[in-house]
């Protein structure tokens, strides 16, 4: 397979207006070892987000090889694989070979829709997460054995033959995948507190945990993300044209994945 360079940003944080439940302690940051699991929780279904190529593997440790991987004081998970742009060692593989059977919801600029996205190793990768709402529990405060729904946003920049373009693999994360598109088919992500030192993040539905974060807009529950990208367009104005950035909702892809987070 031809090697292609991709750089990804999974932007995360608390959803606007999110606050911790009354009386809940403010969480402390937690240093992590993160495993990108090759299989989902059933040990059979392949993940479409996979670990690094040799000589490395699918385990990423906070403070090693430029990796930052932590639970934040906001109660969410974030990870930075490269300390500076184009300066890191660790990559992640993304498989975009399986479009989901849903039409793009893009109506404003259908001429700008990208019909496909290639697969490849992601560079400059970052990961984040967002709590759902004011009823959410900080990941550090979850009880052992409990689960809740979360949102994710993977923003990406790809270089092919010297040309760059960006996109975002969205799991219900931002406006273009939620309030602007209320009928989004994108899946949520299930976060589970396994025990005092371990958490898992798995796209909904989970083969073992089930359809905990149901999306009624899907005709059948599957681990689907919405792929978005930004375009600069010319907008006529009183004093001539100006440039504006618009988000294009390209379509949906099957993108099941599972992460294990272990306290370092």
pLDDT at position 24 is 64
pLDDT at position 116 is 87
| Gap between the Cα atoms of 231 and 244, Å rounded | 8
Any idea which residue has 């005092």 for tokens?
196
The enclosing H or E element of 117 equals none
Report the domain count for the chain: 1
> Domain range spanning residue 57?
5-263
pLDDT at position 90 is 82
pLDDT at position 256 is 96
The list of the chain residues with pLDDT below 50 reads 1-21
pTM for the full predicted model:
0.84
pLDDT at position 3 is 38
Residue 43 falls in which region: left (phi positive, over 0), alpha (psi -120 to 50) or beta = left
| Gap between the Cα atoms of 74 and 113, Å rounded | 35
Pick the closest to residue 119 from 148, 140, 95, 87 (CA basis): 95
Any idea which residue has 């689960």 for tokens?
147
Read off the tokens for 191. 């976060």
DSSP state of 83: S
């Amino acid at each position: 397979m031809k090697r292609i360079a991709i750089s990804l940003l999974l932007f995360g944080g608390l959803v606007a207006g999110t606050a911790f439940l009354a009386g809940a302690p403010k969480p402390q940051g937690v240093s992590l070892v993160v495993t990108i699991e090759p299989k989902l929780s059933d040990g059979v279904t392949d993940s479409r987000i996979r670990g690094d190529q040799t000589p490395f593997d699918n385990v990423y440790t906070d403070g090693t090889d430029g990796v930052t991987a932590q639970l934040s004081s906001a109660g969410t998970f974030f990870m930075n694989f490269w300390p500076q742009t184009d300066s890191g060692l660790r990559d992640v593989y993304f498989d975009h070979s399986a479009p989901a059977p849903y039409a793009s919801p893009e109506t404003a600029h259908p001429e700008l829709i990208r019909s496909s996205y290639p697969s490849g190793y992601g560079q400059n990768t970052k990961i984040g997460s967002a709590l759902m709402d004011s009823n959410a529990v900080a990941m550090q405060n979850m009880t052992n054995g409990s689960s809740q729904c979360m949102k994710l946003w993977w923003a990406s920049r790809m270089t092919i033959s010297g040309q760059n373009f960006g996109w975002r693999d969205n799991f219900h994360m931002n406006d273009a995948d939620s309030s602007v598109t209320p009928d989004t088919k994108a899946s949520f992500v299930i976060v589970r507190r396994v025990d005092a030192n371990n958490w898992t993040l798995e796209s909904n539905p989970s083969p073992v945990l089930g359809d905990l974060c149901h999306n009624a807009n899907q005709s059948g529950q599957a681990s689907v993300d919405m792929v978005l990208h930004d375009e600069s367009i010319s907008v006529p104005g009183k004093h001539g044209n100006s440039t504006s950035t618009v988000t294009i909702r390209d379509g949906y892809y099957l993108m099941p994945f599972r992460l294990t987070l272990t306290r370092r």
